[in-house]
Amino acid sequence: MFDNFPLWPVPASSGAGNVDALFIFLVLLAGFMCLAIFTLIVVFAVKFRYRRGHRAEQIEGSVPLEVTWSAVPLAIFMVIFVWGAVIFFRERTPPREADAVYVVAKQWMWKLEHEQGQKEINELRVPVGRDIKLIMTSQDVIHSFYVPAFRIKQDVLPGRYTTAWFHATRPGVYHLFCAEYCGTEHSGMIGQVVVLEPAQYEAWLAGGSTFGSLAANGESLFRQLGCPTCHRSDIQGRGPNLVGIFGKPVQLEDGRTVMADENYIRESILSPNAKIVSGFKPIMPTFQGLVDEDQVTALIAYIKSLSRSPEGAAGPAKPAPGT
């Protein structure tokens, strides 16, 4: 609707229309209230102006009137609240089957890594018509991943993952901004999201990486770091078998149950003693300082891939096409 009348960026994601509709509703509502209030100010100023012989009268309260002016605004605010909440929850919950892209922010650039192993800087290529889930962290200060055309903005924090997702609906090149002041060159921390036709995207994927998939990198790192001395995929070793744990609830020693998501796996690697798996001893050493963000990402991708293999067995990570 606004293509030829660009008051705001083109809506290029499946969620953009909902956000715009709510925004337009709020603007119209505010505009209407503004008009009503100013009209009444003028009307009352004329109607109750000073005239000789007219005197103000004391008005006692009126219950129906007070109920009305409480209930009507409440109803309007509830509409805004429910509408906003529906959009918020939709934006907060990535679809299960979404393709993951790992984002590492640092002063002052965006590093992006695809599951297939492709790495990009300040440029994110994605296929049109697919659900894309961003798993983001920062190497230093707080940044914020902002793509106006998709109507998504999410803070990116050091020391943990935050996520965002989108479903691009039209090919094109869109702005990517850092929306959290992060130091001298904050304003230069910009990039672009390039939405490609699926065939173009596949061609790009096939042409690119000589590194192997993220999960395959994770697997070799897993060996290099000696993880298999405790974590074996055939039997239960000194540490829990990691096959199939991703996305499942984990029973902890203290009786709690947590979901094995990206943040949990990350914490298990960097501060293993924070949550102890039921039935195991806190013998896992911390890998804090031994692995950087990219390597944590690769390890997570590998552990995830152990849950994806259809056989369920010790599914080795598949090498990327072309390796």
Give the residues across from 196 on adjacent strands. 127
Residue 11 or 240 having the CB closest to ligand HEC: 240
In whole angstroms, the minimum distance from the beta carbon of 5 to ligand HEC comes to: 51
**Which residues of the shown chain bind ligand HEC in the complex (CB under 6 A)?**
222, 225-227, 229-231, 238-240, 242, 245, 250, 260, 265, 268-269, 272, 275-277, 280-284, 287, 299, 303
In whole angstroms, the minimum distance from the beta carbon of 100 to ligand HEC comes to: 17
In whole angstroms, the minimum distance from the beta carbon of 305 to ligand HEC comes to: 13
Q: Is 143 in the site for Cu ion (CB under 5 A)?
A: yes
Q: Is 136 in the site for Cu ion (CB under 5 A)?
A: no
Name which of ligand HEC, Cu ion, none residue 276 binds, using a CB cut-off of 5 to 8 Å depending on partner kind.
ligand HEC
Contact 191, 105 (CB under 8 A): no
In whole angstroms, the minimum distance from the beta carbon of 258 to ligand HEC comes to: 8
Residue 153 or 160 having the CB closest to ligand HEC: 160
In whole angstroms, the minimum distance from the beta carbon of 112 to ligand HEC comes to: 23
Q: How many CB atoms lie within 10 A of CB 293?
A: 19
Q: Is 168 in the site for Cu ion (CB under 5 A)?
A: no
Residue 187 or 229 having the CB closest to ligand HEC: 229
Q: Which of 104, 134, 189, 306 binds Cu ion (CB under 5 A)?
A: 189
> In angstroms, rounded to a whole number, what is the distance separating the alpha carbons of residues 13 and 165?
10
Name which of Cu ion, ligand HEC, none residue 238 binds, using a CB cut-off of 5 to 8 Å depending on partner kind.
ligand HEC
Kindly determine how many residues on this chain lie close enough to bind Cu ion according to the rule CB under 5 A. Answer: 4
First vs last Cα of the chain: how many Å apart?
46
Q: Is 106 in the site for Cu ion (CB under 5 A)?
A: no
- Three-state helix/strand/coil letters over the chain: CCCCCCCCCCCCECCHHHHHHHHHHHHHHHHHHHHHHHHHHHHHHHHCCCCCCCCCCCCCCCHHHHHHHHHHHHHHHHHHHHHHHHHHHHHHCCCCCCEEEEEEEECCEEEEEECCCCEEECEEEEECCCEEEEEEEECCCCEEEEEHHHCEEEEECECCCEEEEEEECCCEEEEEEECCCCCCCHHHCEEEEEEECHHHHHHHHHHCCCCCCHHHHHHHHHHHCCHHHCCCCCCCCCCCCCCCCCCCEEEECCCCEEECCHHHHHHHHHCHHHCCECCCCCCCCCCECCECHHHHHHHHHHHHHHHHCCCCCCCCCCCCCCC
Name which of ligand HEC, Cu ion, none residue 90 binds, using a CB cut-off of 5 to 8 Å depending on partner kind.
none
Q: Which of 178, 196, 214, 245 binds Cu ion (CB under 5 A)?
A: 178
In whole angstroms, the minimum distance from the beta carbon of 303 to ligand HEC comes to: 6
> In angstroms, rounded to a whole number, what is the distance separating the alpha carbons of residues 212 and 221?
12
Residue 193 or 301 having the CB closest to ligand HEC: 301
Place of tokens 């798993």: 135
Name which of ligand HEC, Cu ion, none residue 230 binds, using a CB cut-off of 5 to 8 Å depending on partner kind.
ligand HEC
Q: Is 125 in the site for Cu ion (CB under 5 A)?
A: no
In whole angstroms, the minimum distance from the beta carbon of 228 to ligand HEC comes to: 8
Name which of ligand HEC, Cu ion, none residue 225 binds, using a CB cut-off of 5 to 8 Å depending on partner kind.
ligand HEC
Q: Which residues bind Cu ion (CB under 5 A)?
A: 143, 178, 182, 189
